[in-house]
Amino acid sequence: MARGAGSRGPVEAQVAPVATPAQVEDLMRLANTHRAAGEWKQAEAVYQRVIRAQPRAMSAYVARVASGSLRLEHLRDARGALRQFETALRTWPGGVLEQEARQGITEAHRVLGNAAEERQALEEFLSHHPDSPHAVAARARLREISGR
């Protein structure tokens, strides 16, 4: 059965739109403008558009880390933040935002009350970034939750 020109079937609705690098750059600029203005939900929605447009691109990696930070710091969605940070690490291991993603994972676990996962995430953070400016706080938190 043929579909009308305006109809979208289930497969078509699942295919991510392809955007040019210039369009993705414009979306990132728009998301960052919303973020700078404190328009957290609008910024998050645009970061999601970037992720859908080019899910494996560097821009999506940056958008995932930004989305995770927004969800954690402003949208009270620690579970969603954790997903974004973990996906960023999986898709771009060793990426330029690895430290931020790992730190976000530790914080998301803290907010969620996952002490064992937070401890593991802190240990991983410290093993990858022992000289980070955040290492002192990470070590202190690790001692605090470990009871040492």
Whether 104 is covered by a domain: the verdict is yes
Whether 96 is covered by a domain: the verdict is yes
Whether 6 is covered by a domain: the verdict is no
Amino acid at 71: R
What CATH number does residue 125 fall under? 1.25.40.10
Q: How many domains does the chain have?
A: 1
Whether 13 is covered by a domain: the verdict is no
Residue-wise pLDDT tens for the chain (148 aa)?
343 444 433 333 344 456 898 999 999 999 999 999 999 999 999 999 999 999 999 999 999 999 999 999 999 999 999 999 999 999 999 999 999 999 999 999 999 999 999 999 999 999 999 999 999 999 999 999 988 6
Whether 107 is covered by a domain: the verdict is yes
H or E element at residue 121: helix 115-128
Answer whether 62's CB lies under 8 Å from 92's CB.
Answer: no
CA distance 94 to 92: 6
Amino acid at 141: R
What residues make up the domain containing 110? Answer: 20-146
- Cβ neighbors of 73 (< 8 A, separation 6 or more) are none
